[in-house]
Amino acid sequence: MSTSSRLRWLWLTLAVVLLDRASKAWFEARTIEGWRHEVLHNFIYLVHSRNPGIAFGVLADSASTTTRVMLIAGSLLVIGVLAWLLVAGKVGTPLGNAGLALLLGGAAGNLADRIFHGAVTDFFELWLGTYHYPAFNVADSAITIGAVFLLSDILFGRKQQTPDQVS
């Protein structure tokens, strides 16, 4: 697969970043932190929350400058690895490349929040009975979908033959 055909997946990364940033900016401009609105009774809520930690609120209570710098540095490292995997063609299938592009876009969207706001803005919240799924955003959704795509590709994708396996 040529470099140009691999780079075409960056449109998906850019789309995720733009959609994530636009949705967060729109939400932040129209609501205040702590705002809550029920969309579907006991199921889907719109909320305005900020998470200075990582996924599921881990490290949210330690919102120190050191933690913020370490989260930004870790995000930059992950983004670098994902970009390298995508551009170097380490995943050769469309599903795997889409997964990498979604992961890259989600990581970049949340990184922008950390840099500019010190925390990630979340606005979707789900309840299933008494189970509460932590608030999330477009970037988090892209990361989840990208991880599912990549994992599906790894587990169920067609295996490429190496030259010594060809008869």
Catalytic residue ranges: 122, 140
CB 134 within 8 A of CB 57: yes
Question: DSSP letter at 1?
Answer: -
Question: DSSP letter at 131?
Answer: E
Question: DSSP letter at 14?
Answer: H
CB 146 within 8 A of CB 102: yes
**Residue 37 class from Cβ within 10 Å (0-12 exposed, 13-18 middle, 19+ buried)?**
exposed
Separation of alpha carbons 81 and 63, rounded Å: 26
Listed in order, strand segments (DSSP E) in the chain are 36-40, 44-51, 120-128, 131-136
